[in-house]
Amino acid sequence: MKAIILAAGYATRLYPLTKNTAKALLEIDEKPIIAHLLDKINEVKNINQVYIVTNAKFYQDFNKWADKYKGTSEIMILNDGTDSNENRLGAIGDIAFVLQNTEIEEDILVMAADNLFTFDLPSFVDFFHQKQSDCITVQVMEDRQELQRTGVVETDHNNKVISFEEKPVNPKSKLAAPPLYLYKKDTLPLFAEYLGEVQNPDAPGNFIPWLIDRKGVYAHFVTGECYDIGTLESYEKVKVLYQSK
């Protein structure tokens, strides 16, 4: 299995902090966000390569960081060629970019570089292997305003996803979907097909409602926290939370 970390955004809501620093390289508890994510990935024994896709603006910064990284993951930094928020490829565009520029022929784990989480990643991978289908994570969220800022899922009695809506005005359930996905290798060609048909490359969750019309996708219920680092306020809040652990 391979892992893809999406780190090509420009984080304009975090300016001026991210004007010259990639969001994933901001530090929390004395190490970059990206290193926290790799710690979680390293808990999964059968992930043997991690692709971090970034942009031309921060490509060299990620390479400098990777040269000093002391973890166990084998890392490849990819430059998607964009240089501003206006010409970004978007999350799904970046997944397709990685698949087009590597020789991945295995199942993949996809995660956003700006979401830290505490739930158990190996159990998600075990669920994926049991289902032998594409899988997402879901967690119960009571706060309606929070639901309006994330992906919202409906499932049937077998945990099969029957609807998925990104940032809904009127959430249909209390099941929130963090940006963490597992895809079978036979799903990989569908990313290019999606982009050719839908042409909405931004949020990674936008792929799911299109996919469930073509393949079975299952939801793994997780317990724990997921922190979306999208604003200066949320970044400061997460820094305090991690320092107090």
Using alpha carbons, select from 34, 23, 29, 107 the residue that is nearest to residue 68.
34
> Is 14 buried (19+), middle (13-18) or exposed (0-12) by CB count in 10 A?
buried
How many beta carbons lie within 10 A of that of residue 126, not counting itself? 13
- Domain coordinates of the chain in residue numbers? 2-243
Rounded to whole angstroms, the Cα distance separating 24 from 111 reads 12
Strands of 64-147, DSSP E:
75-79, 108-112, 115-117, 134-140
Using alpha carbons, select from 55, 62, 63 the residue that is nearest to residue 83.
55
Chain-centroid distance of CA 90 in Å reads: 12
Element spanning 85, H or E: none
| 181: phi then psi, degrees, rounded to nearest 5 | -140, 150
This prediction's pTM: 0.93
Strands of the chain, DSSP E:
2-6, 27-28, 31-32, 49-54, 75-79, 108-112, 115-117, 134-140, 151-155, 161-166, 175-177, 180-183, 217-221, 226-228
Residues 175 and 152 sit within 8 Å (Cβ to Cβ):
yes
Rounded to whole angstroms, the Cα distance separating 47 from 245 reads 27
> How many residues does the structure list for the chain?
245
Residue whose token pair is 């991210």: 18
Query: Cα angle vertex 45, ends 241, 39, to 5°?
Result: 20
SS3 124: helix
Rounded to whole angstroms, the Cα distance separating 177 from 91 reads 16
Per-residue model confidence as pLDDT tens for the chain (245 residues): 999 999 999 888 889 888 899 999 999 988 999 999 999 999 998 998 999 999 999 999 999 999 999 878 899 999 999 998 888 999 999 999 999 999 899 999 999 998 888 889 999 999 999 999 999 999 999 889 888 888 899 999 999 999 999 889 999 999 999 999 999 999 999 999 999 998 778 888 889 999 999 999 999 999 888 888 878 888 888 888 887 65
Protein fold of 2-243: Spore Coat Polysaccharide Biosynthesis Protein SpsA; Chain A (3.90.550)
